[in-house]
Amino acid sequence: MLSAEIHRNGLPKSIAAMNPFSEKNTNISLAHEFLSLSSSWSLDIDSKEFAKKLDDEDPLKEFRKRFHYPKKKGLSGVDSESLVDDNEECIYLCGQSLGLQLKTIKNTLQDVLYDWASRGVECHFNGYLPAAFCDVPIKDKMAYLVGAQREEVAIMNGLTVNIHMMLGTFYNPTSEKHKVLMLAGGFHSDLYAVQSHVSMRGYDPEDSIIFLNPRKGEYTINPNDIMQVIEEEGHSISLIFLEGVHYYTGQLFDMKEITAAGHAQGCIVGWDLAHAVGNVKLKLHDWKVDFAVWCTYKYLNSGPGSLGAIFSHSRHTQGVNGVLPSMAGWWGLPDKKKFAFEREFCPSEGADRFRNSNPSPFLSTMVLANIEVFREAGLERLRKKQRLLTGYMEYLIETLFPCDETRRPQIQIITPSNPNMRGSQLSLVSSVPISMFEDNLKSKGVLCDARKPSVIRVTPIPLYNTFTEVYEFVHILKNLFCDIPYTES
């Protein structure tokens, strides 16, 4: 344990007095921040009192009350005899897979249902969220989240369908430039879609897909290696299609730099932002990204299977020479043309030309309600809390699981330690199989994501997770590891 008395020595008073959520702290190391706060508050960093103090100081703490939080009693595998009462909440660290439900969703869904029940077909054009225009109110707010112009964003389909839609349009291989650059170990939605499009164009995926791999003995991909591959192989690469944040390791890639490097080699650059939207800072328009796709059920909390979205840079959809979708649908027409039944496809302005069918108002209202919460909370405030929340988990794990040369079971963080190279997620690799402690984690009411044999993904979400939860999780994990048998070296 690190005591506040020790921390007090040698720390400037100006640092010790800082507000942890102040924007002035962004250039101070996380470890230094926690040490200074420990000194200022006379509390051990590794103490529940310190965690509760961070929660007390949190300007976003009231947002947690807006979400339904799973109760332990309703979860599989929880030790019912250990429950204090039926309302005891779990420790939910799985927001990278599925965000929690906003309490107001029920009311907004009821409004849409009422319009359908009371208006019939007229609910398409009247009511709380007219079905024919239900995606329109989302566009401005979604553009704000991803750093785009309004016309560059379209709300449509699910993630994998949108990947196919965009690959069908933007992957145009030639005999000289037919390769696709991807991440090794990326999510299979991306891989299967790319493999199918490469094959449909008459090329062999074994020859036409280049995979970016970590260096031997490492988990994350060295940024220099990405730039080197683009420079050396760019002459043969038609498309660069990467994850903005790697789903497995939590590594955040420099989208601006990679996009610029790809463009310098004449490549189209697209991004899967499933683990980036609502999680990290995005400026898709300024970075000149060609296209991007994402879902809304992870960090955007819009519910299982909810609507996805796309980005297509305005330079691709302006004027008579703008790109046309390879698979056109009637909802890609301007509103005034939708019922004209003309033979020729006349595209909507901007990314809306990629739409095929009218989106569901039920799913649209779920996306809309959650994006409004993001805007109210403020992206900068969310990022400041994210930096501290994930940093606090990192600090405690490194303190309670120090590297040593014994055979004691260990946990190692494989997500980059630099806050500028990650979002909320930390991926932890265990020296023993997850199967040795996964059930015990569940019995304690901890929900996180196990990637067997040895990795767990844990994600404290700024909108609804607390520093106290982070403290409790790390200590539960530590206690479980202390119970795992091992042999001294």
CB atoms within 10 A of CB 8: 15
358 in a known ligand binding site: yes
272 in a known ligand binding site: yes
Q: How far is CA 450 from the centre of its chain?
A: 17
Residue from 39, 73, 41 nearest 55 by CA: 41
449 in a known ligand binding site: no
164 in a known ligand binding site: no
Residue from 428, 444, 437, 448 nearest 486 by CA: 437
297 in a known ligand binding site: yes
CB atoms within 10 A of CB 152: 27
Q: Which residues contact 253 (CB under 8 A, 6 or more apart)?
A: 221, 223, 226, 242, 243, 244, 245, 246
330 in a known ligand binding site: yes
Contact (CB, 8 A) for 346 and 334: yes
129 in a known ligand binding site: no
Q: Which residues are annotated as a binding site?
A: 159-160, 272, 275, 297, 330, 358
Binding positions for pyridoxal 5'-phosphate are: 159-160, 272, 275, 297, 330, 358
